[in-house]
Amino acid sequence: MIKGFIFDLDGVITDTAELHFQAWKNLANDMDWEFDREVNEQLRGVSRMDSINIIKEHNAAEISEEKLVELATRKNDIYVDSLDQITPKDYLPGALELLTHLKREGFKVALGSASKNSTKVLQQLDAAKFFDVIGDGNSVSKSKPAPDIFLFGAKELSLKPEECIVYEDAEAGIDAAKAGGFHAVGIGPEERVGHADIRFDSMAEATLFEVKSHFASLFP
Instruction: Give contact residues for ligand G6P (rule: CB under 6 A).
Output: 10, 20, 43-48, 51, 76, 113-117, 137
CA angle 166, 172, 177 (to 5 degrees): 30
Tell me which amino acid residue 176 is: A
The answer to whether residue 201 is catalytic is: no
Residue 65: CB minimum distance to Mg ion, A:
26
Residue 169: CB minimum distance to Mg ion, A:
4
Q: Which is nearer to ligand G6P, 10 or 148 (CB)?
A: 10
Q: Which of 8, 136, 169, 175 is catalytic?
A: 8
Task: Give the number of other CB atoms < 10 A from CB of residue 3.
Answer: 16
What does the alpha-carbon distance between residue 97 and residue 194 come to, in Å, rounded to a whole number?
24
Name the residue among 10, 3, 7, 2 with its Cα closest to residue 131.
7
> Any contact of residue 175 with Mg ion (CB under 5 A)?
no
> Any contact of residue 169 with Mg ion (CB under 5 A)?
yes
> Any contact of residue 11 with Mg ion (CB under 5 A)?
yes
Residue 199: CB minimum distance to ligand G6P, A:
18
B/e letters for 52-89, b = 16+ CB within 10 Å, e = fewer, are: bbbbbebbeeeeeeeebeebbeebbebbeebeeebeee
> Any contact of residue 8 with Mg ion (CB under 5 A)?
yes
Q: Where are the beta strands (DSSP E) in 148-187?
A: 164-168, 183-187
Give the chain's radius of gyration (CA, Å). Answer: 17
20 binds, among ligand G6P, Mg ion, none (CB under 5 to 8 A by kind): ligand G6P
Q: Which of 10, 148, 169, 175 is catalytic?
A: 10
Q: Which is nearer to Mg ion, 3 or 197 (CB)?
A: 197
Q: Which is nearer to ligand G6P, 92 or 208 (CB)?
A: 92
Residue 46: CB minimum distance to ligand G6P, A:
5
Q: Which is nearer to ligand G6P, 31 or 218 (CB)?
A: 31
What does the alpha-carbon distance between residue 182 and residue 179 come to, in Å, rounded to a whole number?
8
- Mapped onto helix, strand or coil, the DSSP state of residue 184 is strand
The answer to whether residue 30 is catalytic is: no
Q: What is the DSSP letter of 201?
A: S
Q: Which is nearer to Mg ion, 122 or 170 (CB)?
A: 170
> Any contact of residue 136 with Mg ion (CB under 5 A)?
no
Q: Which residues are catalytic?
A: 8, 10
- Where along the sequence are the contacts to Mg ion (CB under 5 A)? 8, 10-11, 45, 169-170
